[in-house]
Amino acid sequence: MFRKIVLLTLLTAFSGSLFAASAEERAQTAIDTRQGLLKVVASYFGPIVGMARGQIPFDAAVVEKNAGKIAQLAPMLEDVFAKDTRESGLQSGAKDGIWEDMADFKGKAATTTERAIALANAASQGKGPTMKAFGALGASCKGCHESYREKDEG
Ligand code: HEC
């Protein structure tokens, strides 16, 4: 009995907060979520940029681990961009084209996943092959940004 009440209370609280959110709040949450995912992607990408620039020593184990994480995160891009926020009028770096050609957007995310896997595999082959694979991964980020991210957002 007690358990049932707890469960009901939890369910009510959860659905309450879910349905109480306004359309604008839901759009803002979607924007925060996708930007958050990309921040996490960048947090794994950043150390490899440092290695490529010679700012930190090359570390194959870190490259392999971080590339593996990016390969796990990139497939989430299509999920966190599923919500169309074009009509919200809220500020974000996402271009409208994402929701005009979602298949192309998903394809670009899939390229990033493939190249992150290739980078993880290249890491054990030394710095040269690793940095070549890293260049390809970086080009896949850029490829999507050029089409779908506002320029002044970086
Ligand atoms: C399939 C498309 C796509 C791919 C692939 C992609 N990005 Fe992005 N990225 C975007 C879009 C769109 C935004 C703007 C999102 C927004 O502001 O709502 C963005 C924003 C960002 C941001 C800013 C996040 C913030 O608001 O603070 C960073 C950092 C970033 N991307 C890094 C990367 C890196 C690094 C890679 C490659 C490993 C990558 N992205 C691959 C589409 C992509």
The first and second tokens of residue 18, run together, are 């879910």
Question: Where do the domains of the chain lie?
Answer: 2-153
Q: How far is the CA of 145 from the centre of ligand 1 (A)?
A: 7
Query: Rounded to whole angstroms, how far apart are CA atoms 63 and 130?
Result: 8
For ligand 1, atom 22, name the residue with the nearest CA. 38
Q: How far is CA 104 from the centre of its chain?
A: 16
Q: How far is the CA of 9 from the centre of ligand 1 (A)?
A: 38
Query: Rounded to whole angstroms, how far apart are CA atoms 88 and 25?
Result: 9
User: Would you call 94 helix, strand, or coil by DSSP?
Assistant: strand
Q: Indicate whether residue 115 lines ligand 1 (CB < 6 A).
A: no
Spatial CB neighbours of 55, under 8 Å, sequence gap ≥ 6: none
Q: What is the DSSP letter of 53?
A: T
Question: Domain 2-153: which topology?
Answer: Four Helix Bundle (Hemerythrin (Met), subunit A) (1.20.120)
Q: For the whole prediction, is pTM greater than 0.75?
A: yes
Q: How far is the CA of 12 from the centre of ligand 1 (A)?
A: 35
Per-residue pLDDT of the chain (154 residues; tens, 9 = 90+): 566 666 656 555 565 555 678 999 999 999 999 999 999 999 999 999 999 999 999 999 999 999 999 999 999 999 999 999 999 999 999 999 999 999 999 999 999 999 999 999 999 999 999 999 999 999 999 999 999 999 864 4
